[in-house]
Copies of this chain bind each other. A is one copy, B any other.
Amino acid sequence: MDDSTKPRQPTRATTSMSSTRRVGLWLIGAFGGVGTTAALGLAAWRHRLIDGTSLVTMLPLFQGLDLDAPEQFIVGGHDIRRTNFEETVALFQKNANVFEHDLVKQCRHELAEWSENVRPGTVLHSGKTIAQLVDIPEVHRASSARYAVENVQQDLLIFRESNRLDQVVVINVASTEPPMVPPEEYHSLSTLREVLSGGDWVLPASSVYAYAALDLGFPFINFTPSLGASLPAMEQLALERRTVVGGKDGKTGETLMKTVLAPMFAARNWEILSWVGHNIFGNRDGLVLDDPVNKESKIKTKDRVVSQILGYQPQTHVSIEYIRSMDDWKTAWDHIHFRGFLNTKMILQFIWQGCDSILAAPLVLDLARLALLAQRRGEVGVLKHLACFFKSPMGVDEHDFFHQFGMLQEHIQQYRTAPPTR
């Protein structure tokens, strides 16, 4: 590992509010575990209650880049439940046994202020299970996609204006929707627009948000396996509006491990006979995934990476079970059966015990910073260099984590030598 990735403590990349620039982080599903943790973490970082640990953009690699400092961020978002960050933080403390009390106390001001910025969202085509979570009447008013897009855009513009923001990045951290393959006619931007204005829009809420954001020229990042901006029409929209788009499905735990370990088996020419992964957790995301329809899209992306790295298809099995008592602590047991020399079968097992939101939230902040910077540098379209953050990276077939990380390193190194394109 070259020096750029070595976090020689305590010297890390430092942040400094280099400008008077103000940026907005708009979270779809703001009051969920990831949204709440990202907001709290951002506030804590502002107060220097935490160091840069677990923030990729605080690696020495990023030192000296014009990334936004925590003080420059204002948080807002959409949610379908009537609550606020302080409540969701308290719930998290109680259930998942995370977030130090003193730290939370010192972040109360931001949590209260930012809660005010969260508006009722839409559940258009999000599936039954998600729809059942709604407890705000406003959410249901969106009877058409067009109306929903307009509502979302209005919320985003008000957020920008009232906070005098230079840029706003929209990140989807809402619950996973059922999988959908968009019909052909949705693939072109012009027909997508037709459907939106008059026709029979079938895309899920995540795509409503994606359209709304990109159409305003705001960067959009899909941190979930939902459809979001993952269709050609949306990429065209991003290009047209000169904004950036990234996703999808944050690579946080078991899948990260898969994309780290599978290359080892490949490089040593061991044959993987079977790879079984069993995941248990009990947060709201897990409850949604307990609906087999919503679970399907999650399992698909988790399962695919191994065969894509290996070049052949071993027997794989991935299960995700909702176990209430685990709350946000996602535990994965993976059993990897492989064949070595002289046909000998051997076994690697791992047990991953991570707190889902704690793993995801810093990546959300990293993605916000990197997307905002990329847009400022004049990049447009899909941010392929962010592949290492995602289970299903848009526009990238590479799943080997270290190859993906190499792509990030290379791209960032270019920032130092090449001038921005605008």
Chain A contact residues, CB within 8 Å of chain B: 1-3, 5-9, 37, 40-41, 44, 50, 52-56, 58-59, 94, 97-101, 103, 256-257, 260-261, 263-264, 266-271, 273-274, 276, 278, 280, 309-312, 315, 317, 319, 321, 323-326, 331, 333, 335, 337, 339-355, 358-359, 361-362, 388, 398, 400-403, 405
Q: Are B98 and A342 in contact (CB under 8 A)?
A: yes
Q: Are B348 and A351 in contact (CB under 8 A)?
A: yes
Q: Are B269 and A55 in contact (CB under 8 A)?
A: yes
Q: Are B351 and A349 in contact (CB under 8 A)?
A: yes
Q: A267-B388, A317-B323 are in contact. Are A352 and B341 (CB under 8 A)?
A: no
Contact of A9 among B94, B312, B402 (CB under 8 A): B312
Give CA–CA (A350, B334) in the complex, Å.
9
Q: Are B335 and A358 in contact (CB under 8 A)?
A: no
Complex: chain B residue closest to A409, CB-CB: B267
The 25 sampled A-B contact pairs (Cβ below 8 Å) are A1-B309, A5-B267, A6-B266, A7-B269, A7-B271, A7-B312, A9-B271, A9-B311, A53-B343, A54-B339, A59-B269, A100-B342, A101-B101, A103-B342, A260-B261, A260-B264, A267-B405, A278-B333, A315-B325, A317-B321, A340-B362, A342-B358, A346-B355, A347-B353, A350-B351
With a CB–CB cut-off of 8 A, which chain B residues contact A388?
Answer: 267
Q: Are B53 and A340 in contact (CB under 8 A)?
A: yes
Complex: chain B residue closest to A6, CB-CB: B311
With a CB–CB cut-off of 8 A, which chain B residues contact A359?
Answer: 340-341, 346
Q: Are B276 and A8 in contact (CB under 8 A)?
A: no
Complex: chain B residue closest to A94, CB-CB: B100
- Give the oligomeric copy count: 4
Known pairs A1-B267, A267-B388; list 8 more (Cβ under 8 Å).
A50-B341, A55-B341, A59-B269, A274-B325, A276-B280, A342-B361, A344-B358, A348-B353
Contact of A323 among B1, B274, B309, B352 (CB under 8 A): B274
Q: Are B349 and A266 in contact (CB under 8 A)?
A: no
With a CB–CB cut-off of 8 A, which chain B residues contact A358?
Answer: 340-342, 344, 346
Give CA–CA (A257, B348) in the complex, Å.
10
Give CA–CA (A43, B315) in the complex, Å.
30
Q: Are A337 and B325 in contact (CB under 8 A)?
A: yes
Give CA–CA (A332, B267) in the complex, Å.
21
Give CA–CA (A155, B319) in the complex, Å.
45
Complex: chain B residue closest to A261, CB-CB: B260
Contact of A335 among B55, B59, B333 (CB under 8 A): B333
Q: Are A263 and B1 in contact (CB under 8 A)?
A: yes
Q: Are A269 and B342 in contact (CB under 8 A)?
A: no
With a CB–CB cut-off of 8 A, which chain B residues contact A309?
Answer: 1
Contact of A341 among B325, B351, B361 (CB under 8 A): B361
With a CB–CB cut-off of 8 A, which chain B residues contact A342?
Answer: 37, 40-41, 44, 50, 98-100, 103, 358, 361
Give CA–CA (A369, B100) in the complex, Å.
35
Q: Are B311 and A8 in contact (CB under 8 A)?
A: yes
Interface centre among A9, A311, A403 (most CB of B within 10 A): A311
Q: A7-B269, A264-B401, A362-B340 are in contact. Are A325 and B312 (CB under 8 A)?
A: no
Interface centre among A9, A50, A319, A342 (most CB of B within 10 A): A342
